[in-house]
Amino acid sequence: MSRLKEVFDWRFWIWQPILAFLLPFLIDQIHFLGTNFKIIGLLFILNSAFSVFVGLYLRSHGSFWYLLIVWPLIFALATWLGFNESLYGYFFAILYLVIGIFSYTHGQTEEIDYNDQIPVDGGFKGDR
């Protein structure tokens, strides 16, 4: 049950709709911010950094791996609803999934205690 409570942390669930729906809408309403700022600043830099955060957050809290797809799906939904350009919005959703998977699986082959484990021949025998 505690594992499930960690998944419902506000940092994971609140920032997704803000970055997928609210910020693209606000950038479209502010006329002095151009399309290049939206593509480079928001969609590439900020959302990619958030994808890294999502992968690291889910891994550090021992959350379910299939939650990695939630952020790209919310972004794809925002693209489908017209908050982002469909020309590149779906490609960014795939990019966010790949970045999330990379940050989630980074270093799993080099776990700290994996190589230092001591084999126990004949099984463990405790004091009886």
Regarding predicted confidence, which is higher, 119 or 87? 87
Sorted by where each begins, the domain ranges of the chain are 15-108
Give CA–CA dist 24/75, Å, rounded.
11
Q: Is the pLDDT of residue 124 over 70?
A: no
Q: How many CB atoms lie within 10 A of CB 25?
A: 13
pLDDT of residue 65: 79
> The whole model's pTM is what?
0.72
More confident residue, 46 or 127: 46
pLDDT for 5-56, tens place per residue? 656 667 778 888 888 888 888 888 887 777 777 788 888 888 899 999 888 8
Q: Worst-scoring range by mean pLDDT, 50-59, 60-69, 88-97?
A: 60-69
What Cα–Cα distance (Å) separates residue 70 from each residue in 3, 75, 101? 17, 9, 12
Q: Which residue has the higher pLDDT, 63 or 52?
A: 52
